[in-house]
Structure formats: structure tokens, C-alpha cells
């Protein structure tokens, strides 16, 4: 009897130890690729023809909309043959494309994004969206996604311009798999740049940006080839190879890089984005 009880106690103790070790591991693996409960991995994409200067980051050769479903025709409705060819090969990511959006769109939707794609004016601290009310007299040309409150943008009278701050606790971006911050200087070396803040403060798996100034037409060619390589290309390359060969494509077309070779990827450089998925929860 005593021997039986001793064996039973040993079994119970071993069971408890195994539970302590194994259950957190099981919980962690289950949580790793979980997104917000009940939601679909979604990609929001932002492009512009800016009121301020007419910079066209929307209606050029933007076949990169193949990333998302049901939005190619919004980019090029005058090319039915191209549109129908896309419809016959539906892209894998569900998503939305927003033209000339103000900061209120990402304010409402950012927390639901598994992938975020921006192409437009930017600096090392902010992404530029259309303003709520264009007012050159007050120096109000944009609304913004800003890295943090240390770099808040004010008008000429010292009034804060509408913007969201990526480091605020409101933004739960640990579930985001990939953020493409396509604008000048978003990953400028030696600065407290928005790419670094997005990755390090919010835990998005991979955050892409450019170190220096990029020329718009070169960037249009780059972004098209980047997403073709990553999502609909042969083999669906990891984002680091997708970026490298997209830069080579720009060089082949224009004879120069126009700034697109100087890109930076913070976080996982070997992630693939060919299949919709949530990011790995770290924070």
C-alpha cells in the first residue's frame, strides 16, 4: 500500500511539473499567429495625388494592387483587359485601397490591419496624409501618422495639426505582420525614425522603409515589382529578396536606382507575405 501511494505521488508530481512546462509552450504556439479575435488578416493600402503639390502616388503604373482583392479596377478602370486578367487570377490578400485619405482612415482601421502599405510623402518622423482642411495660410498641408509626441506637427500659430502617434497605447500593432512605409527618409540612419519606432515599440514583425530621398517614378516601379516578387511571383520570395530584385528592376528600367536601393527592413527580413496571416505576437 505504501509503495503504491509513493508511486501515485510521484506520478502526480511529474504530471504537475509537465503541466507547468508544457502548457505555456502550447499556449504560446497557439497565440503566435493569432490575430484580433474573429477577424480576417486584412491589408489597407494608401495612395495619393496630393492637394499641395499634385505628386501622383496613385494613378501611375500601380499593378501592386494585385496584393489585394477587388481593388485593381479602382487603380485603372480604363483598362478592361488588364482588369479582367486580374479577376481571372484573384490575389490572396483581402484588402482595401484608399485614395487621398486623411489620417482618420488609419485612425479607424490601423488596429485591424495584418499588412499596412503606404506610398506618399514622408519624413523620418511621419507619413503624410491629406489634410482634414487644406489651409496654406496656417501651413496646414497634411494630416499625419507621426512616430511619437516628441515630433508632433504644429501649424504656424502653434496649434496641433490632426495626427495620430504610433507609440500611443491605443495602437496594438503586435498582430501586424508587415508594414510598408514607402516614402522618403522613413528609415533615415542616425535619426529617431518612424520605421524603428513602429517595429521596436509596437512589435510589427517586419517594417520596411527608405533611408534617404526616393524619386517617385522609381518608387512606383519598385513597389510594383516588390509585391509581384513577394506575392504573385515565381516562388513568392521573402521580403528581403523581393526588395533587392525590385531595386534591380528599377536600375534596369531607368539606368539608376533613384534612392530605392537604400531601403531598410526592421524585424524579420526573411518573412514571406504571399499568404494572408497575422503577425507573431511578441509584446
- Convert the pLDDT of each residue in 36-54 to its tens digit: 666 889 999 999 999 999 9
Could you tell me the CATH number of the domain that includes residue 97?
Answer: 3.40.50
**14 CB-near residues (< 8 Å, 6+ apart):** none
> Would the pLDDT of 154 be above 70?
yes
Q: In terms of domains, do 14 and 117 share one? A: no
In a domain, 120, yes or no: yes
- How does the average pLDDT of the chain come out, rounded? 80
Residues 180-235 pLDDT 10s = 999 999 999 998 999 999 999 999 999 999 999 999 999 999 998 898 888 865 55
> Would the pLDDT of 18 be above 90?
no
Q: In terms of domains, do 103 and 154 share one? A: yes
Q: In terms of domains, do 61 and 177 share one? A: yes
In a domain, 139, yes or no: yes
In a domain, 282, yes or no: no
How high is the pLDDT of residue 227?
87
Structural domain boundaries, residue 154: 42-267
In a domain, 187, yes or no: yes
Q: In terms of domains, do 27 and 46 share one? A: no
How high is the pLDDT of residue 271?
95
Amino acid at each position: 500500500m505504501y509503495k503504491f501511494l509513493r508511486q501515485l505521488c510521484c506520478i502526480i508530481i511529474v504530471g504537475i511539473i509537465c503541466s507547468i512546462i508544457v502548457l505555456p509552450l502550447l499556449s504560446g504556439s497557439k497565440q503566435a499567429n493569432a490575430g484580433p479575435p474573429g477577424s480576417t488578416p486584412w491589408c489597407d493600402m494608401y495612395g495619393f495625388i496630393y492637394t499641395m503639390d499634385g505628386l501622383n502616388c496613385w494613378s501611375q503604373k500601380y499593378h501592386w494592387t494585385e496584393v489585394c482583392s477587388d481593388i485593381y479596377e479602382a487603380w485603372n478602370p480604363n483598362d478592361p483587359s488588364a482588369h479582367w486578367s486580374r479577376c481571372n487570377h484573384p490575389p490572396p490578400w483581402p484588402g482595401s485601397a484608399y485614395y487621398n485619405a486623411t489620417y482618420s482612415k488609419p485612425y479607424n482601421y490601423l488596429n485591424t490591419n495584418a499588412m499596412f502599405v503606404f506610398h506618399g510623402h514622408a519624413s523620418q518622423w511621419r507619413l503624410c496624409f491629406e489634410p482634414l482642411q487644406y489651409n496654406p495660410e496656417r501651413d496646414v498641408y497634411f494630416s499625419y501618422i507621426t512616430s511619437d509626441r516628441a515630433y508632433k506637427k504644429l501649424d504656424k500659430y502653434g496649434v496641433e495639426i490632426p495626427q495620430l502617434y504610433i507609440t500611443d497605447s491605443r495602437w496594438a500593432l503586435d498582430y501586424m505582420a508587415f508594414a510598408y512605409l514607402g516614402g522618403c527618409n522613413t528609415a533615415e540612419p542616425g535619426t529617431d525614425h518612424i520605421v524603428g519606432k513602429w517595429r521596436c515599440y509596437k512589435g510589427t514583425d517586419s517594417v520596411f522603409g527608405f533611408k534617404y530621398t526616393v524619386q517617385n517614378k522609381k518608387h512606383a516601379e519598385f513597389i510594383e515589382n516588390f509585391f509581384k516578387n513577394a506575392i504573385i511571383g515565381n516562388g513568392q520570395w521573402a521580403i528581403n529578396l523581393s526588395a533587392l530584385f525590385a531595386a534591380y528592376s528599377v536600375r534596369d528600367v531607368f539606368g539608376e536606382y533613384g534612392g530605392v536601393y537604400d531601403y531598410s527592413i526592421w524585424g524579420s527580413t526573411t518573412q514571406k507575405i504571399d499568404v494572408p496571416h497575422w503577425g507573431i505576437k511578441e509584446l
